[in-house]
Amino acid sequence: MNLSMIWQLLIGCLLFTGLKAQQKISAAQLKEDLALADKALQEAHPGLFRYTKQAAYTQLVRSIANGLTAPLTEKEFLVRLQPLIAQISCGHTKLLPAAYQEGKFLYPATNAFPLRLYFEEQEVYALESYGEEKGIPAGARITRINGVSMQKIRKKLSSLLPADGVMQTGITATLNRSFNSLYAVFMGESPVYTIAYEYKGKKHRAAVKGITAEIIEQAIATQTTAAQKPFELEWKGSTAWLTIRTFMADKEQFPFEKFADSVFNELKAKQTSNLVIDCRDNEGGIEDWGGYLYSYLADTNFRYYDRILVNKKDSFSFQRYAWLPPFYHQARNLIQEKDGKFYWPLQTYLKELPAQQNRFTGTVYLLVNGRSFSVTSELAAVVKQNKRAIIVGEETGGNGYVNNSGLFAILRLPHSKLQVGIPLASFYMNSDPVNGRGVVPDYKVPTTITDILSRKDPVAAFVLNKINTSH
């Protein structure tokens, strides 16, 4: 499930001024907040030790606590606590400021890094300048910032980002989306940035001024303000192109099941042979929507989820500090205990279900990338397990077998006011385990800096060419 809606519900009561965010919190209070965060994670998180050993986790908590010897601001405490969140290796577990707002920097910045960068698997390139200075050309390979190599910067920031398992595509996607904010918090701000870069075989250096976070936020908002439907069907010749930008939308305004019914009725009426489902940049949302879409792809009866586990059946000791789903306390009584594990039974797609009568029987292409997360990764996992689509693009950013999501506890630490988003359920797919990896595409087609600058879509081009040459 996408956390954005939950965070937005909390914004009204969690807005603090920048001045308050800079107030110092005593070391004793910080240690209390750390202990509470640790307790909440151990009580509630269903996959806390899936990718990290308990001893390593405990040692890190102890190390952080030992380092809390002087008062810190909220921001400084977040920097100390972030390695613990990253070590869990769960992309749904979040640590956010008290005044977090979707689409904004983690914290206000006066001298933010002024370039928009593009991270490929190995190299980093300049895309554009957010500020007035335009000295570094688009496509230049950035090698150093303030004397520090991009390899070291990338390694440090990547080590602090929560991501499912061992996947790097999701981390790369996060760097592409949030590098300027992350750099300001974890690397620091600078009035002037010295940038070393290479362009057309020659090495260069440039000094560019830092800019405010607001300038970057406005530029990003302008780039993304174009009104787009969450899902739509288009036609590229005789090929049906179904774009699903998110599985999270207003159910009244955008009823997904009704939309899916109309799509597959149209495909059947037109006797369509090829269907492309574009789920790139789709970070997930409502679990049932992924299952419902698969019911039109399945060629026989199917089970989508294998099991859903939670960490405990009784109440949480930290709940006085947390927001919990309104129905959570009543729902606890429905949790089933078996062999020392706690199972959540209320999910339609745990059962064996029939495929839709209007199921699609032609060739399906599923497009994914590093931002294909949560529900999208679940869909990709089941599609791949049952060989119901040719998957093209990049490895998904979400785990291809199990993820922690669904219900969430939003813990508000009493002294620092930091928010810890803790998923309460582990969703196991009815597919083979993948050892911490995402869903690996059948055809890996990366998008390079050259593609971005020339406004080309190599993934779409690959699929359309494959369809055209298969006749």
Mean pLDDT of all residues in 460-466: 98
Q: How confident is the model at residue 134 (pLDDT cuts 50, 70, 90)?
A: confident
Is the Cα torsion angle 109, 113, 114, 118 positive or negative in sign? negative
| Contact partners, residue 95, CB within 8 Å, separation at least 6 | 78, 81, 82, 85, 418, 419, 420, 421
Instruction: Look at residues 228, 236, 220 and name the one whose alpha carbon lies nearest to residue 367.
Output: 236
pLDDT at 226: 58
Q: How confident is the model at residue 6 (pLDDT cuts 50, 70, 90)?
A: low
14, pLDDT greater than 50: no
| Contact partners, residue 222, CB within 8 Å, separation at least 6 | none
SS3 338: strand
SS3 99: coil
Q: What is the DSSP string of 416-466?
A: T--EEEEEEEEEEESS---TT-BPPPSEE----HHHHHTT--HHHHHHHHH
Instruction: Look at residues 364, 372, 367 and name the one whose alpha carbon lies nearest to residue 388.
Output: 364
pLDDT at 4: 53
CA distances for 345 relative to 5, 7, 55, 182, 311, angstroms = 24, 26, 32, 39, 14
Contact at 8 Å (CB) between 81 and 97?
Answer: no
Each residue of 182-224: pLDDT tens digit? 999 999 999 999 999 999 999 999 999 999 999 999 999 887 7
Burial of 70 (0-12, 13-18, 19+ CB in 10 A): exposed
Each residue of 42-95: pLDDT tens digit? 999 999 999 999 999 999 999 999 999 999 999 999 999 999 999 999 999 999
pLDDT at 18: 46
Specify the pTM: 0.93
Mean pLDDT of all residues in 456-469: 97
455, pLDDT greater than 60: yes
Contact at 8 Å (CB) between 400 and 380?
Answer: yes
Mean pLDDT of all residues in 344-365: 97
Each residue of 252-279: pLDDT tens digit? 999 999 999 999 999 999 999 999 999 9
Q: Domains of the chain (ranges plus CATH)? A: 115-211 (2.30.42.10), 231-316+328-406+426-469 (3.90.226.10)
Torsional class of 125: left (φ above 0), alpha (ψ -120 to 50), beta (otherwise): beta
The first and second tokens of residue 226, run together, are 């174009």
Each residue of 283-329: pLDDT tens digit? 999 999 999 999 999 999 999 999 999 998 889 999 999 999 988 88
362, pLDDT greater than 80: yes
Distance CA 43, CA 46 (A): 8
Q: What is the DSSP letter of 350?
A: G
pLDDT at 131: 87
The percent of residues in the chain predicted with pLDDT above 70, rounded, is 94
Distance CA 442, CA 285 (A): 25
pLDDT at 135: 83
pLDDT at 3: 53
Distance CA 83, CA 79 (A): 8
Q: Bridge-partner residues for 236, per DSSP?
A: 239
Burial of 10 (0-12, 13-18, 19+ CB in 10 A): middle
Contact at 8 Å (CB) between 333 and 314?
Answer: no
Mean pLDDT of all residues in 138-144: 98
The strand ranges marked E within 291-429 are 305-310, 322-323, 336-338, 341-343, 363-368, 390-393, 402-412, 419-429
Higher pLDDT, 383 or 7: 383
Contact at 8 Å (CB) between 93 and 410?
Answer: no
pLDDT at 225: 57
CA distances for 80 relative to 101, 105, 289, 450, angstroms = 21, 18, 38, 38
Distance CA 202, CA 153 (A): 22
What is the separation, in whole angstroms, between the first and last Cα of the chain? 39
Least confident of 82-86, 99-103, 169-173, 254-258: 99-103
SS3 391: strand
Instruction: Look at residues 152, 154, 142, 158 and name the one whose alpha carbon lies nearest to residue 193.
Output: 142
